[in-house]
Amino acid sequence: MLKRCYCGGEMNLKLRTVIFAKKVNINNVPVYNCSDCGRNDLFPSVKDDVGKLVGQLGARPDVGEIPFEQVHEWACVLSQAFLQGDSLQAKEIAKATEERIDQLLDLWLIASSLKDEVWMTEIHNRLSQLSAPYLPS
Protein backbone atom coordinates (compact mmCIF):
# COMPACT_ATOMS: atom_id res chain seq x y z
CA MET A 1 0.00 0.00 0.00
CA LEU A 2 1.25 3.48 -0.78
CA LYS A 3 -1.32 5.72 0.87
CA ARG A 4 -4.26 5.52 3.27
CA CYS A 5 -7.62 6.97 2.35
CA TYR A 6 -9.69 9.23 4.61
CA CYS A 7 -12.17 6.35 4.94
CA GLY A 8 -9.41 4.13 6.34
CA GLY A 9 -9.16 2.01 3.21
CA GLU A 10 -5.99 1.34 1.27
CA MET A 11 -5.19 3.44 -1.75
CA ASN A 12 -3.29 1.97 -4.66
CA LEU A 13 -1.62 3.71 -7.52
CA LYS A 14 -3.25 3.25 -10.93
CA LEU A 15 -3.06 4.77 -14.35
CA ARG A 16 -6.44 6.06 -15.46
CA THR A 17 -7.93 7.86 -18.39
CA VAL A 18 -9.16 11.28 -17.35
CA ILE A 19 -11.87 12.69 -19.60
CA PHE A 20 -11.77 16.45 -19.83
CA ALA A 21 -14.82 18.49 -20.93
CA LYS A 22 -16.34 15.23 -22.25
CA LYS A 23 -14.07 15.56 -25.28
CA VAL A 24 -10.45 14.95 -24.51
CA ASN A 25 -9.17 11.66 -23.16
CA ILE A 26 -6.01 12.15 -21.17
CA ASN A 27 -4.55 8.65 -20.98
CA ASN A 28 -2.28 7.13 -18.34
CA VAL A 29 -2.77 9.73 -15.63
CA PRO A 30 -1.41 8.41 -12.29
CA VAL A 31 -4.03 8.48 -9.53
CA TYR A 32 -4.41 6.94 -6.11
CA ASN A 33 -7.59 4.92 -5.99
CA CYS A 34 -9.38 3.63 -2.89
CA SER A 35 -10.92 0.23 -3.44
CA ASP A 36 -13.24 0.71 -0.44
CA CYS A 37 -14.96 4.02 -1.21
CA GLY A 38 -13.82 4.62 -4.79
CA ARG A 39 -12.12 7.91 -4.05
CA ASN A 40 -9.53 9.07 -6.62
CA ASP A 41 -6.66 11.42 -5.81
CA LEU A 42 -4.28 12.70 -8.45
CA PHE A 43 -0.72 11.58 -7.89
CA PRO A 44 0.75 14.64 -6.09
CA SER A 45 3.73 15.13 -8.43
CA VAL A 46 1.56 15.41 -11.55
CA LYS A 47 -1.19 17.58 -10.07
CA ASP A 48 0.27 20.90 -11.24
CA ASP A 49 1.03 19.62 -14.72
CA VAL A 50 -2.43 18.13 -15.20
CA GLY A 51 -3.74 21.56 -14.19
CA LYS A 52 -1.46 23.26 -16.72
CA LEU A 53 -2.47 20.85 -19.47
CA VAL A 54 -6.15 21.39 -18.82
CA GLY A 55 -5.52 25.14 -18.81
CA GLN A 56 -3.86 24.89 -22.24
CA LEU A 57 -6.79 22.90 -23.60
CA GLY A 58 -9.14 25.72 -22.66
CA ALA A 59 -12.91 25.64 -22.28
CA ARG A 60 -13.70 24.31 -25.75
CA PRO A 61 -11.08 21.77 -26.68
CA ASP A 62 -11.09 19.70 -29.85
CA VAL A 63 -11.98 16.05 -29.49
CA GLY A 64 -8.84 14.04 -29.04
CA GLU A 65 -6.53 11.93 -26.97
CA ILE A 66 -3.46 12.97 -25.07
CA PRO A 67 -0.95 10.32 -24.05
CA PHE A 68 0.02 11.74 -20.66
CA GLU A 69 3.09 9.47 -20.54
CA GLN A 70 4.55 11.70 -23.28
CA VAL A 71 3.72 14.85 -21.33
CA HIS A 72 4.98 13.90 -17.92
CA GLU A 73 7.94 11.78 -16.86
CA TRP A 74 6.03 10.31 -13.93
CA ALA A 75 3.36 8.90 -16.21
CA CYS A 76 6.16 7.54 -18.39
CA VAL A 77 8.01 5.91 -15.49
CA LEU A 78 4.85 4.49 -13.93
CA SER A 79 3.54 3.08 -17.19
CA GLN A 80 6.90 1.33 -17.60
CA ALA A 81 6.72 0.04 -14.03
CA PHE A 82 3.19 -1.27 -14.61
CA LEU A 83 4.51 -3.49 -17.40
CA GLN A 84 6.21 -5.49 -14.63
CA GLY A 85 3.02 -6.05 -12.59
CA ASP A 86 -0.49 -4.80 -11.85
CA SER A 87 0.10 -3.55 -8.35
CA LEU A 88 2.94 -1.16 -7.76
CA GLN A 89 5.01 -1.09 -4.63
CA ALA A 90 7.29 1.75 -3.58
CA LYS A 91 10.35 -0.39 -4.36
CA GLU A 92 9.31 -0.95 -7.98
CA ILE A 93 8.53 2.71 -8.47
CA ALA A 94 11.93 3.68 -7.05
CA LYS A 95 13.66 1.22 -9.39
CA ALA A 96 11.80 2.42 -12.50
CA THR A 97 12.54 6.03 -11.55
CA GLU A 98 16.22 5.33 -11.11
CA GLU A 99 16.40 3.65 -14.53
CA ARG A 100 14.62 6.54 -16.21
CA ILE A 101 16.89 9.10 -14.52
CA ASP A 102 19.93 7.14 -15.75
CA GLN A 103 18.51 7.17 -19.31
CA LEU A 104 17.86 10.89 -19.13
CA LEU A 105 21.34 11.59 -17.77
CA ASP A 106 22.85 9.60 -20.66
CA LEU A 107 20.79 11.66 -23.09
CA TRP A 108 21.83 14.83 -21.34
CA LEU A 109 25.50 13.91 -21.80
CA ILE A 110 24.91 13.40 -25.53
CA ALA A 111 22.97 16.65 -25.83
CA SER A 112 25.68 18.45 -23.88
CA SER A 113 28.50 17.09 -26.04
CA LEU A 114 26.55 18.24 -29.11
CA LYS A 115 26.02 21.62 -27.42
CA ASP A 116 22.35 21.28 -28.30
CA GLU A 117 20.85 23.81 -25.89
CA VAL A 118 17.22 23.17 -26.80
CA TRP A 119 17.60 19.46 -26.22
CA MET A 120 19.51 20.05 -22.97
CA THR A 121 16.71 22.27 -21.68
CA GLU A 122 14.09 19.69 -22.58
CA ILE A 123 15.98 16.93 -20.76
CA HIS A 124 16.53 19.20 -17.79
CA ASN A 125 12.77 19.85 -17.60
CA ARG A 126 12.08 16.13 -17.71
CA LEU A 127 14.56 15.46 -14.93
CA SER A 128 13.00 18.14 -12.77
CA GLN A 129 9.56 16.54 -13.22
CA LEU A 130 10.98 13.43 -11.63
CA SER A 131 12.63 15.25 -8.76
CA ALA A 132 9.26 16.02 -7.16
CA PRO A 133 8.56 13.57 -4.35
CA TYR A 134 6.33 10.66 -5.29
CA LEU A 135 5.15 9.63 -1.86
CA PRO A 136 2.44 11.69 -0.18
CA SER A 137 3.71 13.73 2.71
Contact with Zn ion (CB under 5 A) among 26, 34, 66, 123:
34
Q: Is 31 in the site for Zn ion (CB under 5 A)?
A: no
Is residue 109 a contact point for Zn ion (CB under 5 A)?
A: no
Q: How many residues touch Zn ion (CB under 5 A)?
A: 7
**Given the complex with Zn ion, which of 37 and 105 has the nearer CB atom?**
37
5 part of the interface to Zn ion, by CB under 5 A? yes
Cα distance between residue 47 and residue 61, in whole Å: 20
- What CA–CA distance (Å, rounded) separates 23 from 48? 21
Based on the shown chain and the rule CB under 5 A, indicate whether residue 105 belongs to the binding site for Zn ion. Answer: no
Residue 97's alpha-carbon distances to 71, 100, 129, in angstroms, are: 16, 5, 11
Instruction: Quote the least distance from Cβ 40 to Zn ion, whole Å.
Output: 10
Pairing relationship of beta strands 64-67 and 24-34 according to DSSP bridges: parallel
| List 37, 90, 105, 110, residue binding Zn ion (CB under 5 A) | 37
Rounded to whole angstroms, how far apart are CA atoms 43 and 20? 17
CA–CA separation, 127 and 82 (whole Å)? 20
Residues at the site binding Zn ion, with contacts judged by CB under 5 A: 5, 7, 9, 34, 36-37, 39
